[in-house]
């Protein structure tokens, strides 16, 4: 088990290094010039060249890459002389445009994205899995048909449409909720919920519909398994047959999917955050794209890869914990 | 002895609706199983043998079951599920074909047996687990205490089937319905599992219904045999008589198709021509007539009239062939 974990962690590190190298190469090939950006407007060509030298941007790509990777673990000082900026551990680059280390920018935004992701995931799990299980157990009845038609409708709604309608109806017309802005949970738990509830619903609806359909299929399939029939043949009450023998295996693929979805979402819900102007990682990414703020784009890409690779590992571990057949002996 | 036979099935019929129409999977069959005896039900896929067993257990969902099945005098058909539940696993238990899929992959073998025991007898989890270890030992699983903590996929095929039998035995039932219990096993393991069932039967006076397509299994274990074809019983006889003096052309075909040691080298296997009847649109009259050699010889309309009922043709021997005088 420990050997397995170590192998997985090594593979994770390798994956991240490759992602890092690829993003690094992509940005090197892009036409935008960080030295010119740092220097500002009305810089002479000589001055830009000087800045380039001092920031180390004239070094060979492989040297720059080495500095970047080393910076992640040891921090680094970017540039020399009057332009020297200190970028402490863990240094994911420095945004000259906002004059801040990328790590600080990301950590500043991360709580918003985590709040958004966890709240939305809770909501779509409750709605989606609940509806899916009810639909499967009441298969063929009007409840099943209503739920499944409803989920098709919801799945067809684009996020920006849902967001606009919700904002218009709830905030503008009814005035029940404030226009969402991020309030830290520790600061004001009630405010945290009332401000995030609309983004949560927006993000949750689409996933709830997908999860409902997936859960329904999985439950129907599992309830037809021979081991469920065996549970009935033992004389167990239906409640136990469904709850213990049916739902546990039926929800295993749902748990897997949740892990992957959450991993993707932790690094920011780009559209939802932008729609509600929530200062999350997704919004940071969108803004940085607009400004061609390369160090930030790269940092967020790496952070997202980290979340996805980690959630992959967590999903595999959870899977082995639920299903003994997946355990390594 | 109690006055009732252990299991008495009368005119049992099972229908289920499908998109293409109603399937009459079992069309009124009768049989009796006494304590300590084994009834073999033999037939090919789709003959209704498994459906019959599920109907007796009240496990065939979505099907309409009519007729009567009495377990020790208690009617099972039409009884509400919560009352059947008290009998299921406790008085009648089932051994399914493929233990790898019939046992739950997520729970240990011991837990699965203990769960059944606790459902019917209550008590602590610990006591139920001890009982599970006992029955695992009874069915010949070495180191039962250790194996009880393992999951089904860690068992070999034969051991898994033994565990399945242990599960069925855990609540000391009177009747065991075994649906193709040895089909997934290789021949030597198959023999061991059948011996185990027979030993347990002798020790505990179990009534057994052995459902199989394998006449070799029937020959080994059955006292009485019911041959099913297209949802009906076509022949019913003591095992000895069925093998020495089969009356129905289908039974003869089945027996003829068994390869024999005294076959000449290079002799071809004998098969019954044609394929099993469609349950949606069964042939008129005797369901077997399109494949029947006797029908081909005497096509005078008797085979295609009403579905022929079982008639007593000898002491304790019944056959459903209208041509019996002709073919006898």
Q: Any bridge partners for residue B32, and if so which?
A: B8
Q: Is residue B147 part of a domain?
A: no
- Chain A residues within an 8 Å CB radius of B104: 227, 230-231, 245, 249
Instruction: Give CATH for domain A106-326.
Output: 1.10.3720.10
What's the DSSP call for residue A88? P
Return d(Cα B103, Cα A234) in angstroms, integer: 11
Instruction: Report the distance separating Cα A96 and Cα A87, nearest Å.
Output: 11
Contact of B133 with B143, CB cutoff 8 Å: no
Are A52 and A39 in contact by the 8 Å Cβ rule? The answer is: no
- Straight-line distance from the first to the last Cα atom of chain A, in angstroms, rounded to the nearest whole number: 8
Domain that holds residue B58: 1-36+50-82+213-259+273-328
Residues B249-302 pLDDT 10s: 899 888 888 877 777 777 778 888 888 888 888 888 888 888 888 787 766 777
Measured CA to CA, the distance from residue B321 to residue A52 in angstroms comes to 101
Domain boundaries along the sequence of chain A: 2-102, 106-326
Higher local confidence (pLDDT), B228 or A27: B228
pLDDT at B309 over 60: yes
- Across residues A257-284, what is the average pLDDT? 89
Q: Name which residue leads in pLDDT, A87 or B2.
A: A87
Locate the DSSP E strands across chain A. 76-78, 85-87, 94-95, 100-101
Q: Pick from B87, B103, B115: which is nearest to A227 by CB?
A: B103
Is pLDDT at B327 greater than 80 in this prediction?
Answer: no
Query: How many domains, chain B?
Result: 1
Contact A304, A268 (CB under 8 A): yes
Which of A230, A237, A323 to probe the B interface (max B CBs under 10 A)?
A: A230
Q: How many Å apart are CA A87 and CA A76, to the nearest integer?
A: 5
Res A3 pLDDT > 60: yes
CA distance B123 to chain A (A): 15
Nearest to A187 by CA among A196, A199, A176: A196
Residue contact A245–B104, C-beta within 8 A: yes
Q: What is the pTM of this model?
A: 0.85
On whether residue B7 sits in a domain, the answer given is yes
Give tens-digit pLDDT for A139-156.
989 999 999 999 989 888
Q: Is residue B188 part of a domain?
A: no
> Mean pLDDT over residues A201-226, rounded?
94
ipTM: 0.90
Q: Which of A227, A235, A322 faces B104 most closely, judged by CB atoms?
A: A227
Tell me the C-alpha distance between B174 and B221, whole Å: 17
Is residue B328's pLDDT more than 50?
Answer: no
| Mean pLDDT across B80-86 | 92
Interface of B with A in 136-175 (CB under 8 A): 151, 153-154, 167
The CATH number linked to B219 is 3.40.50.300
B237 is a domain residue? yes
Which residues, other chains included, contact A225 with Cβ-Cβ below 8 Å and sequence gap of 6+?
Answer: A249, B101
In angstroms, the CA A206 to CA A318 distance is 25
Contact A97, A37 (CB under 8 A): yes
User: Per the structure block, which two tokens stand in for A83?
Assistant: 């332009």
Helix axes A294-322 and A247-266, enclosed angle (nearest 10)? 170
Q: How confident is the model at residue B308 (pLDDT cuts 50, 70, 90)?
A: confident
The pLDDT tens digits of the residues spanning B154-166 come to: 999 999 999 999 9
* C-beta neighbour count of B162 within 10 angstroms: 25
| Structural domain includes residue B328 | yes
Rounded Cα distance between B158 and A239, Å, is 32
pLDDT score at B45: 84
């Amino acid at each position: 088990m420990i050997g397995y974990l170590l192998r997985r962690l090594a593979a994770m590190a390798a994956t991240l290094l490759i992602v890092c190298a690829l993003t690094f190469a992509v940005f090197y090939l892009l036409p935008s010039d960080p030295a010119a950006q740092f220097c500002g407007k009305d810089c002479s060509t000589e001055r830009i060249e000087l800045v380039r030298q001092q920031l180390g941007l004239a070094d060979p790509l492989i040297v720059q890459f080495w500095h970047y990777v080393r910076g992640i673990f040891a921090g680094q000082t970017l540039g020399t002389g009057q332009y020297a900026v200190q970028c402490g551990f863990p240094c994911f680059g420095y945004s000259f445009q906002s004059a801040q280390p990328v790590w600080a920018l990301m950590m500043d935004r991360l709580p918003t994205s985590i709040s958004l992701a966890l709240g939305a995931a809770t909501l779509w799990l409750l709605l989606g899995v609940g509806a899916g299980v009810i639909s499967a157990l009441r298969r063929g009845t009007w409840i099943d048909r209503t739920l499944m038609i409803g989920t098709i409708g919801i799945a067809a709604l684009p996020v920006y449409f849902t967001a606009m309608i919700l904002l218009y109806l709830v905030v503008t017309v009814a005035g029940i909720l404030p226009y969402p802005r991020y309030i830290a949970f520790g600061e004001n738990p009630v405010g945290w919920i009332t401000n995030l509830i609309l983004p949560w619903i927006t993000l949750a609806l689409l996933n709830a519909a997908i999860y409902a359909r997936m859960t329904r299929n999985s439950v129907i399939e599992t309830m037809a398994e021979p081991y469920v029939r065996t549970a009935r043949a033992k004389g167990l009450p239906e409640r136990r047959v469904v709850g213990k023998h049916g739902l546990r295996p039926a929800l295993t693929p749902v748990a897997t999917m949740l892990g992957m979805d959450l991993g993707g979402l932790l690094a920011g819900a780009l559209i939802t955050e932008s729609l509600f102007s929530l200062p999350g990682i997704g919004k940071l990414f969108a803004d940085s794209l607009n400004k061609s703020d390369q160090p930030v784009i790269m940092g967020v890409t790496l952070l997202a890869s980290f979340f996805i690779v980690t959630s992959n590992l967590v999903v595999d571990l959870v899977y082995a914990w639920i299903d003994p057949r997946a355990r390594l002996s | 002895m109690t006055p009732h036979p252990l299991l008495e099935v009368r005119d049992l019929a099972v229908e289920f609706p499908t998109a293409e129409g109603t399937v009459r999977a079992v069309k009124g069959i009768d049989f009796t199983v006494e304590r300590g005896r084994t009834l073999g039900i033999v037939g090919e896929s789709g003959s209704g043998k498994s459906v019959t067993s599920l109907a007796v257990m009240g496990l065939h969902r979505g099907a309409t079951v009519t007729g009567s099945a009495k377990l020790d005098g208690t009617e099972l058909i039409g009884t509400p599920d919560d009352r059947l539940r008290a009998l299921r696993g406790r008085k009648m238990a089932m051994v399914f074909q493929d233990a790898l899929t019939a046992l739950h992959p997520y729970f240990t073998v011991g837990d699965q047996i203990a769960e059944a025991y606790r459902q019917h007898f209550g008590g602590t989890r610990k006591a139920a687990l001890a009982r599970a270890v006992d029955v695992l030992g009874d069915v010949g699983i070495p180191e039962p205490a250790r194996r009880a903590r393992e999951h089904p996929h860690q068992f070999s095929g034969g051991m898994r089937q033994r565990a399945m039998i242990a599960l069925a035995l855990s609540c000391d039932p009177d009747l065991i319905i075994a649906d193709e219990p040895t089909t997934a096993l290789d021949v030597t393991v198959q023999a061991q599992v059948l011996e185990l069932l027979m030993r347990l039967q002798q020790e505990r006076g179990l009534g057994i219904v052995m459902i199989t397509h394998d006449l070799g299994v029937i020959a080994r274990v059955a006292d009485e045999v019911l041959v099913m074809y297209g949802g009906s019983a076509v022949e019913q006889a003591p095992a000895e008589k069925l093998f020495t003096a089969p009356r129905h052309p289908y039974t003869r075909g089945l027996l003829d198709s068994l390869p024999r040691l005294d076959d000449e080298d290079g002799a071809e296997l004998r098969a019954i021509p044609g394929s099993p009847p469609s349950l949606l649109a069964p042939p008129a009259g005797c369901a077997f007539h399109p494949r029947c050699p006797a029908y081909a010889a005497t096509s005078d309309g008797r085979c295609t009239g009403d579905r022929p009922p079982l008639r007593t043709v000898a002491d304790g021997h019944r056959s459903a062939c209208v041509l019996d005088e002709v073919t006898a």
